[in-house]
Amino acid sequence: MTKGIVRGIIANLVLVEVDGPISQNEICYIQLKDIKLMAEVIKILGKIAYTQVFESTRGLMPGNEVEFSGHMLEVKLGPGMLSKIYDGLQDDLNKMDGLFLKRGEYTDPLDENSIWNFTPLAKAGDVVTGGDWLGEVPESWIAHKIMLPFGMTENYSVVSVVPAGEYKITDTIAVVKDKEGKQHEINMIQTWPVKIPIRAYKEKPRPFKLLETGQRTIDTLNPIVEGGTGFIPGPFGCGKTVLQHGISKYGDADMIIFAACGERANEVVEIFVEFPKLDDPRTGRKLMERTIIICNTSNMPVAAREASVYTAMTIAEYYRTMGLKVLLLADSTSRWAQALREMSNRMEELPGPDAFPMDLPAIISNFYARAGYVYLNNGSTGSITFIGTVSPAGGNLKEPVVEATRKAARCFWSLEQRRANSKRYPAVDPIDSYSKYLEYDEVKEYLNSTIAPNWTDLVSYAKDVLLRGRETNEQINILGDDGVPLSYHVTFMKSELLDRIILQQNFFDKVDAATPLNRQHYMLEKVINICMMDFQFESFEEVKPFFTSLIYDMVQMNYAEFNSEEFKQVEADLEKILAERRVK
């Protein structure tokens, strides 16, 4: 193995003079007294390796010895990852002693001694390649597939598979033979470098199936699909994290991977305190049982923050190859971009816009491209749906991370300061936001055949109502309440009704927090019907109170269990109010 000597230290950038070959992104360990600090090569200039250290470099000196590992930053994959809380380098945080994180302490992501109930899926004589399923073990409520390691991309023939029974992850569960006849023993563990996508699938078609999030402003107005990508930009305090937490709770996925990347530790605490108590409405199991948290909060080392999103993506790819529907959330991708910026500045690279590295757009788009819906070699399907938040400096949407992400992600849910200020949560701007998937014919077809034949028409009608509402409101503000025709007030209040009943959703209310699709359909139809009605008013002053009472009733409907006694009672009352002014 190549060795090196520390020559320079600038914060977490360490220059190492090497005595042999090394490669880009190779991992090395810097000896500091009795601990080893992990670092990654990010640039090579002659005999000097520029490394980013995943720890504080306090006390490091020129002359300290460095050992190169011969491999890139890897994750260790196998059963037992669900409900774990990892740091950005996949250390199991629960395995660390003490209140404080210790430098140079790395822990096993898997539990070597855990016992798993193995059922074979392959048999002697089968021809397999990397990613093919050899067997499965129940992990929580997921059938965790034991796969031929992804790196074994040739064809192998199965020599033997152990019979069903209990095994440790380190036990050999299969033996396979390569073309030369060499035998390979396979256990339940494999490793994979995080910066390389796992491509153990046959093909990646355009995604088309709606992925329900329970959030009306997303599902109804700008939906995301299984295997799709989306991002949530917004100034601080506008609700990015709350919206993502909502999606992680109610999103219709087999499992959730949540990458808390450079944000607040208390937000992670919230997840691991609440999720073990919350039920997953689909399986009745606890939410934590389908969740993996990758937690590299803002005070943890910056370089590991960058690693954390890749760690999360690689774990997602591993589970996708088992034929699962994975939802990956990262909060916030801006912190990852900032970590890149910090390093690029320390290396005195020529800066791009706002001092971000020049290749930022390429890095972001390569990352988003790892999501997707896939057909596996055995014909099953799997998907990674990826939603990232973006935290633009000063809330400015023209900033480099937003611009770069816009090119990579297909859904754009923009959070608006003004909406947040007036507590119209979720503060997703209904007019500027979009879902490119609504342009896909196969998505439209899917929506109209699964929700209602006229669904996409209803949705585009709703968007028109909102747009007309915004325009008339501007007119009212310019010309004054009595300077515009009465109909302007009606148009505006119709859009307010739609806004309040469909778009606004109270994340902290038990019922309102998530709305199933059939209920979204019912309410949208109801609201659109009202928007299509004509009403009789004597003066503009009657308009607002009338709609206020409609809104009042329909909010009660949102808070009531769907089709409950209470729901129907309010609905009946609503019909009465409507009848009072409705023009037939």
Partner 1 sequence: MATRAFQKVYTKLNQVTKATCSVTATGVGYDELATVGGRLAQVVKIINDSVTLQIFEGTEGIGTDAEVVFFGYPPTLKVSDQLAGRFFDAYGNPIDGGPDIEGEEVEIGGPSVNPVRRQQPSELIATGLAGIDLNNTVVTGQKIPLWADPDQPYNFVMSLIALRAKADKIILGGMGLSNDDYLFFKQAFENAGIIDKIISFVNTTENPPVERLLVPYMVLTAAEYFAVEKNEKVMVLLTDMTLYCDALSIVSNRMDQIPSKDSMPGSLYSDLAKIYEKAVQFPEGGSITILAVTTLSGGDRTHAIPDNTGYITEGQLFLMRDTNISKVIVDPIGSLSRLKQNVQGKKTRADHVDVMNAAIRLFTDAGNAKTKLENGFDLSDYDERVLKFSHDYSLRLLAIDVNISIDEMLDTCWELFQKYFSKQEIGIKETVMDKYWK
Ligand X SMILES: Nc1ncnc2c1ncn2[C@@H]1O[C@H](COP(=O)(O)OP(=O)(O)O)[C@@H](O)[C@H]1O
Residues in touch with Mg ion (CB under 5 A):
240-241
Q: Does residue number 107 form part of the binding site for partner 1 (CB under 8 A)?
A: no
Task: State the minimum distance, in angstroms, from the CB of residue 39 to partner 1.
Answer: 13
Q: Does residue number 276 form part of the binding site for partner 1 (CB under 8 A)?
A: no
192-230 burial, b for 16+ CB within 10 Å, e for fewer? bbbbbbbebbeeeeebbbbbbbbbbbbbbbbbbbbbbbb
Which is closer to Mg ion, CB of 26 or CB of 331?
331
- Rounded Cα distance between 122 and 98, Å, is 44
Which is closer to ligand X, CB of 242 or CB of 533?
242
Task: State the minimum distance, in angstroms, from the CB of residue 240 to Mg ion.
Answer: 5
Residues in region 402-441 near ligand X by CB under 6 A: 425-426
- Rounded Cα distance between 246 and 507, Å, is 7
- Rounded Cα distance between 500 and 517, Å, is 18
Candidate residues 60, 376, 498, 523; the one interacting with partner 1 per rule CB under 8 A: 60
From the list Mg ion, partner 1, ligand X, none, pick the one residue 239 interacts with, judged by a Cβ distance below 5 to 8 Å according to partner type: ligand X
Which is closer to Mg ion, CB of 272 or CB of 535?
272
Task: State the minimum distance, in angstroms, from the CB of residue 235 to ligand X.
Answer: 7
Which of 386, 361, 368, 396 is CA-nearest to residue 236?
A: 396
Task: State the minimum distance, in angstroms, from the CB of residue 283 to ligand X.
Answer: 25
Q: Does residue number 480 form part of the binding site for partner 1 (CB under 8 A)?
A: yes
Q: Does residue number 270 form part of the binding site for partner 1 (CB under 8 A)?
A: yes
Residues in region 20-59 near partner 1 by CB under 8 A: 56-59
Burial of 67 (0-12, 13-18, 19+ CB in 10 A): middle
Give the SS3 label for residue 172. coil
Q: Does residue number 130 form part of the binding site for ligand X (CB under 6 A)?
A: no
CB-CB contact of 49 with 40 (8 Å):
no
φ and ψ of 191, to 5 deg? -115, 160
Candidate residues 507, 552, 559, 562; the one interacting with ligand X per rule CB under 6 A: 507
Candidate residues 104, 237, 352, 353; the one interacting with ligand X per rule CB under 6 A: 237
Candidate residues 114, 172, 456, 506; the one interacting with ligand X per rule CB under 6 A: 506
Which is closer to partner 1, CB of 537 or CB of 552?
552
Stretch that binds partner 1, among 194-202, 243-251, 258-266, 320-328 (CB under 8 A): 258-266
Stretch 346-385: interaction string toward partner 1, x if CB under 8 A = -----x--xx------------------------------
Task: State the minimum distance, in angstroms, from the CB of residue 528 to partner 1.
Answer: 22
Task: State the minimum distance, in angstroms, from the CB of residue 239 to ligand X.
Answer: 3
CA distance to 253, 547, 560, 573, per residue, from 557 (Å): 27, 15, 5, 11
36-44 LR contacts (CB < 8 Å, sep 24+): 36/67, 36/104, 37/103, 37/104, 38/89, 38/104, 38/106, 39/14, 39/66, 39/303, 40/72, 40/73, 40/303, 40/307, 42/343, 42/347, 43/347
Q: Does residue number 421 form part of the binding site for partner 1 (CB under 8 A)?
A: yes
Q: Does residue number 268 form part of the binding site for partner 1 (CB under 8 A)?
A: yes
CB-CB contact of 196 with 407 (8 Å):
no
Task: State the minimum distance, in angstroms, from the CB of residue 575 to ligand X.
Answer: 29
CA distance to 414, 504, 531, per residue, from 515 (Å): 21, 12, 21
CB-CB contact of 204 with 198 (8 Å):
no
Number of residues this chain uses to bind ligand X (CB under 6 A):
13
Which is closer to ligand X, CB of 507 or CB of 562?
507
Give the SS3 label for residue 243. helix
- Interface residues toward ligand X, by CB under 6 A: 234, 236-242, 425-426, 506-508
